[in-house]
Amino acid sequence: MKVVLFCGGEGMRLRESAETVPKPMAPIGYRPILWHVMKYYAHYGHKDFILCLGYRGDIIKNYFRNYDETLTNNFVIRAGQEVKLLGSDTHDWQITMLETGARATIGQRLLAARPYIEPDEMFLANYSDGLTNAPLDEMIRTLESSDDVACFLAVRPNLSYHFVRLDETSHVCDIQNVSESDMRINGGFFVFRRQIFDYIHPGEDLVPGPFKRMLAAGKLRSYAHEGFWASMDTFKDRQVLWELYDRGDAPWQVWRNGSKA
């Protein structure tokens, strides 16, 4: 399946580490988070990527035009110059770079990608700022086995805040950690049928407008994931992911342990 990646974010809350770098290019180890997301999809056999560019799209273009395989692959160097790679990350990837506007919404970016997706019946999409070890094959089958239009990864929020329930006099009736509640959030990993385009109006975002229309039509479902998921919205989030990477304990790197379950 084709994989649509929304790469237009500025990453304002990451600016301590990335002055003018678009959010998908904020690094974790040797590679940007965008690369980690793409490796996840490639592990499951989905290697035809459509990058919906926005803020500083030139940086993303230049990164892949000048991609250095030696950073994450073993190689032999001869006579100090000739390099023979012993592995490759992207040799069988196809990447379409698509300018979709610096201020476009996610819905607008997806509509701009439509000519590059159709006539495919189904495709994948991602916000490009989150990582998971969710079994992608199972998530795809969840939509394939239904007549729904969209399926998204539903995860427990990894936040330290608390839900508070009050009575009519503002006394606290209940308090519960967000991560321990029954509430889930949209994890930013999507499987769509091409009918999704019938639910998106010009100029609007993907959520909530189109999602509410699918919900009303009974065409929206989710895949509940209990395993690892993390987003990189702040400098602190990035530090946490870096620490996992540095310890060699990066659950999202399913391509290293060979897991597809």
Residues in a beta bridge with 132: 229
* Phi, psi dihedral angles at 122 (to 5 degrees): -135, 155
Q: What is the pLDDT of residues 130-157, one digit of tens each?
A: 999 999 999 999 999 999 999 999 998 8
Residue found under tokens 């990189």: 232
The closest of 92, 136, 124, 89 to 254, measured between CA atoms, is 136
The closest of 36, 19, 6, 96 to 256, measured between CA atoms, is 36
Mean model confidence pLDDT for the chain: 90
Superfamily of domain 2-156+183-257: Spore Coat Polysaccharide Biosynthesis Protein SpsA; Chain A (3.90.550.10)
- Exposed, middle or buried, 203 (CB in 10 Å: 0-12/13-18/19+)? exposed
Rounded to whole angstroms, how far apart are CA atoms 78 and 157? 49
Q: What is the pLDDT of residues 53-87, one digit of tens each?
A: 999 999 999 999 999 888 888 989 887 778 888 88
pTM of the model: 0.90
Question: Residue 261 above 50 pLDDT?
Answer: no
Least-confidence region, from 47-56, 129-138, 156-165: 156-165
Produce one character per residue of 21-41: b if its CB has 16 or more CB atoms within 10 Å, e if not.
bbbbbbbbbebbbbbbbbbbb
Produce one character per residue of 168-202: b if its CB has 16 or more CB atoms within 10 Å, e if not.
eeeeeeeeeeeeeeeeebbbbbbbbbeebbebbee
